[in-house]
Copies of this chain bind each other. A is one copy, B any other.
Amino acid sequence: MLLGALEAGGTKMVLAIGNENGEILEQTSIPTETPEITLPKIIDYFKDKEIKSLGIGSFGPIDLDRASKTYGYITSTPKLAWVNCDIVGTLQKHLGIPVGFDTDVNGSALGEATWGSTKGLGSSIYITIGTGVGVGVYQNGKLLHGMLHPEAGHVLLSRHPEDTFEGICPYHSHCLEGLASGPSIEKRWGKKAYELGSEHKAWEIEAYYIAQALVGYILTLSPHRIVLGGGVMHQEQLFPMIREQVKVLLNGYLKTPLLEDLDSYIVPASLNDNQGIMGCLKLALMELEENK
- Size of interface on A: residues with Cβ below 8 Å to B: 49
A9 within 8 A of B: no
Question: Would you give the shortest CB distance from A214 to chain B, in whole angstroms?
Answer: 11
Partner pick for A152 among B123, B157, B219, CB 8 A cutoff: B219
Contacts of A140 in B (CB 8 A): 142
Q: Which residues of B contact A149 (CB under 8 A)?
A: 222
| Pair A171/B253 contact, Cβ less than 8 Å | yes
Do A151 and B254 touch across chains, with their CB atoms under 8 A apart? yes
A216 to B158, CA, bound (A): 13
Contact between chains at B253 and A148 (CB < 8 Å):
no
A221 with B220: CB separation less than 8 A:
yes
Q: Are A222 and B144 in contact (CB under 8 A)?
A: yes
Q: Does A174 contact B (CB under 8 A)?
A: yes
Q: Are B76 and A172 in contact (CB under 8 A)?
A: no
Check A255 for interface membership: any CB of B closer than 8 A. Answer: yes
Q: Are A146 and B222 in contact (CB under 8 A)?
A: yes
A135: Cβ under 8 A from any B Cβ? yes
* Copies of this chain per assembly: 2
Distance of A89 from chain B, by nearest CB (Å): 20
Smallest beta-carbon distance A274→chain B, Å: 25
Task: Please give the distance in Å from A106's CB to the nearest CB on chain B.
Answer: 11
Q: Which residue of B lies closest to A149 (CB)?
A: B222
Question: What residues on B are CB-neighbors of A135 within 8 Å?
Answer: 220
> Is A196 part of the binding interface, using a Cβ–Cβ cutoff of 8 Å?
no
Question: Does the CB pair B256–A148 fall under 8 Å?
Answer: yes
Interchain CB contact under 8 A, B122 and A146? yes
Is A217 close to B, CB under 8 A? yes
Tell me whether A215 is interfacial, beta carbon within 8 Å. Answer: yes
Question: In chain A between 123 and 147, which residues have their CB closer than 8 angstroms to a CB of chain B?
Answer: 123, 135, 137, 139-140, 142, 144-147
| B171 close to A252 (CB less than 8 A) | yes
Chain B contacts for A254, CB-based, 8 A: 61, 148, 151
Give which listed residue, B215, B223, B250, contacts A146 with CB less than 8 A. B223
Interface check A243, CB cutoff 8 A: no
Q: How far is the CB of A107 from chain B (nearest CB, A)?
A: 17
Closest residue of chain B to A224 (Cβ to Cβ) is B147
B221 near A150 with CB under 8 A, answer: yes
A150-B219, A172-B253 known; 5 new pairs, CB 8 Å cut-off, are: A76-B255, A145-B222, A147-B259, A151-B219, A156-B158
Closest 6 CB pairs of A and B: A146-B222, A123-B146, A171-B253, A152-B220, A158-B158, A171-B251
Name A's B-contacting residues (CB within 8 A): 61, 75-76, 122-123, 135, 137, 139-140, 142, 144-152, 154-159, 171-172, 174, 212, 215-224, 249-256, 258-259
9 contacts between A and B (CB under 8 A): A122-B146, A139-B146, A152-B220, A154-B253, A158-B158, A158-B174, A171-B252, A171-B253, A216-B220
